[in-house]
Amino acid sequence: MRKSFFGVGVLGLAVSAFLTPAFAVPDRPIAYITSYGGAYDVWRMNEDGSVTTELTSATPWGVLCCAPAAFSPDGSKMAYVAGITEYFIMGMNSDGGSPTTLVQIPGKNVFIGSYSPDSTRITFWANTDGDDEIFTANADGSGVSQITFNSVSDSFPDWSPDGTRIVFTSYQTGNGDIYAMYSNGVSQVRLTAGVSLESAPVWSSDGSKIAYTMGNNIWRMDANGTNQVQLTFTAAVEANPSWSPDC
């Protein structure tokens, strides 16, 4: 599964209120970010919580604690963000090894989105011009392309299972809504128009539905924006949903 979770599972979804670790593939290890060694680094554990292994070292750059790692769908690669005043998208094999710099970004608010379904490209968002914009790049860091150029924040990109579209959050109407576009950034379509911030959209594995956060709860809709259904109703903060691989 491209996305990740930490928290309570709900109706084939998982929910996180804070930072999100990442699954490689089902029945395989989980990557997460921890300061256990004194600095933020990426670690790996078995899905039952056993056998923890440090994958990165904080030198020469610390891992950005609030930017989760992302696994490629084939489970072979992992990307994460490191840096202090200048940021780097780093890549490495999912079982460890020496990380390589994929993209160097002279900005802030850098976050990994997801890998494309064929594991050949990644999405990320970064603030390089005063607001967040969405980018794509090849999995080796080449071919970086900015695909949104709005004068407002665009963030939380997630690749559709067929690789043709990307769903994301945008403030084009001032409120933070869910949009979809082709993977080259064209034909942006607004899918939601809620009264609260709508963010962190993720496709179901069959591409028919999208889960997302609105306010402090998890919602679900069809991929074209219809049939919007609220799934959680607690007073707690419930955010950053992720579909299970069989949904």
For 30-52, what is the mean pLDDT?
77
Instruction: With H, G, I as helix, E, B as strand and everything else as coil, classify residue 37.
Output: coil
Structure tokens, 27 = 């029945």
Cis preceding-peptide flag for 117 (omega within 30 of 0): no
Residue 219 has pLDDT above 80, yes or no: yes
Q: Which among 56, 47, 42, 55 has a CA at the least distance from the CA of 14?
A: 47
Q: Bigger pLDDT: 35 or 62?
A: 35
- 41 phi-psi bin (left φ>0, alpha ψ -120 to 50, beta other): beta
C-beta of residue 106 within 8 angstroms of C-beta of residue 128 = yes
Using CB atoms within 10 Å of the CB of residue 216, give its burial: 0 to 12 exposed, 13 to 18 middle, 19+ buried.
Answer: middle
Q: What is the pLDDT of residue 23?
A: 47
**Mean per-residue pLDDT over the chain, rounded:** 82
Structure tokens, 40 = 């933020």
Residue 3 C-beta-side C-alpha neighbours within 13 Å? 30
Our measurement of the distance from residue 110's CA atom to the centroid of its chain's CA atoms, rounded to an integer in Å, reads 11
- Who's near 118: CB < 8 A, 6+ residues apart? 73, 163
Residue 185 C-beta-side C-alpha neighbours within 13 Å? 16
Instruction: Write b or e for each residue in 199-209: b if 16 or more Cβ atoms lie within 10 A of its Cβ, otherwise e.
Output: bbbbbbbeeeb
The top-scoring range by mean pLDDT among 11-20, 39-48, 65-74, 124-133 is 124-133
Q: Which among 211, 176, 194, 246 has a CA at the least distance from the CA of 1?
A: 246
For 200-229, what is the mean pLDDT?
95
What DSSP designation does 63 have?
A: B
Taking only the tens place, the pLDDT of each residue in 58-68 is 555 566 655 67
Taking only the tens place, the pLDDT of each residue in 67-87 is 678 889 888 888 988 877 778
pTM metric for this prediction:
0.83
Q: How far apart are CA 69 and CA 41, in angstroms?
A: 10
The top-scoring range by mean pLDDT among 3-12, 98-107, 141-150 is 141-150
Taking only the tens place, the pLDDT of each residue in 171-190 is 999 889 999 999 999 999 99
Q: Bigger pLDDT: 90 or 191?
A: 191
- Total Cβ atoms within 10 A of residue 47: 12
Residue 93 has pLDDT above 50, yes or no: yes
Query: pLDDT band for position 27 (50/70/90)?
Result: low
- 36 phi-psi bin (left φ>0, alpha ψ -120 to 50, beta other): alpha
